[in-house]
Amino acid sequence: MPPRPISAVAADLGLTDDVLLPYGRDKAKVELTALARPRASAAPARLILVSALTPTPAGEGKTTTSIGLGEALHSMGLRACLALREPSLGPVFGVKGGGTGGGACRLQPSAEINLHFTGDLHAITAAHNLLAAMVDNHIHHGSAPRLDPGRVLWRRVMDMNDRALRQVIVGLGGTANGAPREANFDITAASEVMAVLCLSADEADLRARLGRIVVGFTAERKAVTAADLGAVGAMTALLRDALRPNLVQGNEGVPALVHGGPFANIAHGANSLIATRMALHLADWVVTEAGFGMDLGGEKFFDILCAQTELRPAAVVLVATVRALKLHGGQPLAALSTPDLGALRAGLPNLLHHLATVRRFGPPCVVAINRFPTDTQDELDLLVNLLAEQGVACVPSDHYARGGAGARALAEAVVAAAVDPRPAFTPLYDRAAPLEDKLRALAAGAYGAAGVALSRQARADLQRIRKLGFEGLPLCVAKTQSSLTDTPGVLGAPVGHTLHVEGLREAVGAGFIVVMTGEIVRMPGLPKRPSALDVDVVDGQIVGVE
């Protein structure tokens, strides 16, 4: 169906023109004052979290499933809304392509959302890099407090995959150009400013969190913050509009608040707290997504977001595919279209591992099998029966091909499972525990690891964090998304492995400790054949952004 005017989509949620800031005919920002109005529905709102098994090149389709589920709930006459993350230009032009769903389940306007959208990621990039420029200016002029050039933590960012910028030297060319020092770039989604925006409750909280950002240390190892540099006011000005959630729609008309950053492998990987709260304020059924597998985005959603807010998923949907499970079970990628019940059985432990993680947190779980045309009925029946033995509803879903109608059975299973709007929740670790104890509990519970090994650098980082009094913060682990271990090629559900921690970084504004593991980097690179080669404008229309 053709996209509806954004005012009509807003009306489904009870939003009036005075709280809408239209960006053309098909997208708008929503004023935060909408949260202050009385809730239109007397029914308790239910939050549904969509996560997945460990991602593979075979594809899983969390975003497509989220949109299909939302469209199905909407078609059932339920007051439904999506609360999803904004795409990053890095994957759009890199390996993954667009982040607005696929097949019959897409957000609209798809190309615009995938590219500049309403400018949120550009604003975050600008605010982050303004602070970086003020750091170097502070050092150049010798302002107090005197930052030690060798102890600067604050990196630069850009919303693009560019491996050549991972390590750079700035300040070359003489004293007029600043103090020479080593520096780094991350992708914008990994910026602490992105996390600050996503975790802020309102503008006052945004300002306070920005002020707490630690940019580096003096020679005496005293922390220097963004507030010390006087950067908070200008950063807040750059982020004022970006703090407002964006309203769009699915291609069958379900309202969608799309706001905040992706990348649960190198960031916390959830959409904004404000957008989720707004969706729960305006709708009765809210579908949100945690990036990558349950071990990454799912764990962070519970241990970071739920542990410090009122958010409680009424149910979790774990997305799997027959193809991905067979790949985890040892079937070669090129042969995944060939039926193989043995490989399917062998790959099932990966899904069961993530199911066990959901159960540790507490909410009920539904497994959604995102169907591919090559799936056989025998393979689907095997999964349904094996998961029934675990007491879990497993629902094959045709949403990619048939949209909301194809996800109707999944939606009915979710409604049946989500009886309690706010079920009990248990985090994997006590945030007040020593950091190494928290790491061990997280690694065992989410990754199946037997232990944790800290590098010399990580141990030095831990001592600094302890002295500064930040050890009580929760953890945001940066880890490969392609394995439960910190080694990308290890598939299935390995146990007894060691999580190797290479470094720790205090993200005080965001309110967590970043834990760098294995060989993970926070600035991706482009593949040999990037998706950018397929993007163009033909007859005035953007093509190749899928």
Q: How do residues 353-382 score in pLDDT, each as one tens digit?
A: 999 999 999 999 999 999 999 999 999 999
Q: Looking at residues 250-264, what average pLDDT do you find?
A: 95
Q: Give yes or no for a contact between 446 and 299, defined as CB atoms under 8 angstroms apart.
A: yes
Question: What is residue 351's predicted lDDT score, i.e. its pLDDT?
Answer: 98
pLDDT 10s digits, 16-26: 999 999 999 99
Closest CA to 380 of 315, 325, 335, 330: 325
- Asked if 42 contacts 34 with a C-beta cutoff of 8 angstroms, the reply is no
Mean pLDDT confidence for 491-504: 97
Smallest CA-to-CA distance from 289 within 58, 26, 68 is with: 68
pLDDT of residue 236: 98
Please give the pLDDT value at position 60: 87
**3-state DSSP assignment of residue 466:** helix
Residue 402's pLDDT is what? 98
CB count, 10 Å around CB of 66? Answer: 29
SS3 percent helix, strand, coil of the chain, rounded to 5, is 40, 20, 40
List pLDDT tens digits, range 309-348.
999 999 999 999 999 999 999 999 999 999 999 999 999 9
Which H or E run includes 468? helix 456-468
What count of Cα atoms within 13 Å lies in the side-chain half-sphere of residue 447?
30
For the chain, percent of residues with pLDDT exceeding 90: 96
Output the pLDDT for position 292.
95
Q: What's the CA gap between 132 and 155, in Å, rounded?
A: 7
Neighbours of 532 (CB within 10 A): 17
Structural domains of the chain, ranges and CATH numbers in brackets: 39-85+262-417 (3.40.50.300), 121-240 (3.30.1510.10), 435-517 (3.10.410.10)
End-to-end CA gap in the chain: 19
Coil/strand/helix, residue 216: strand
The DSSP letter of residue 335 is G
C-alpha–C-alpha distance, residues 156 and 375, integer Å: 45
At residue 31, the pLDDT reads 98
Q: Provide the b/e sequence for 330-341 (b: ≥16 CB within 10 Å).
A: ebeeeebeebbe
pLDDT over 90 (residue 40): no
d(CA 59, CA 318): 14
Q: Name the percent of the chain lying above pLDDT 70.
A: 100
Structure tokens at 150: 């060798």
DSSP H helical segments within 362-407, as ranges?
377-389, 399-402
pLDDT at 127 over 80: yes
Confidence category of residue 214, pLDDT binned at 50, 70, 90: very high
- Residue 538: count other Cβ atoms within 10 Å of its Cβ: 8
Residue 479: both structure tokens together: 């880890």
Mean pLDDT over each residue of the chain, to the nearest integer: 97
Q: Note the residue count of the chain.
A: 546
Helical axes 435-442 vs 456-468, angle rounded to 10°:
120
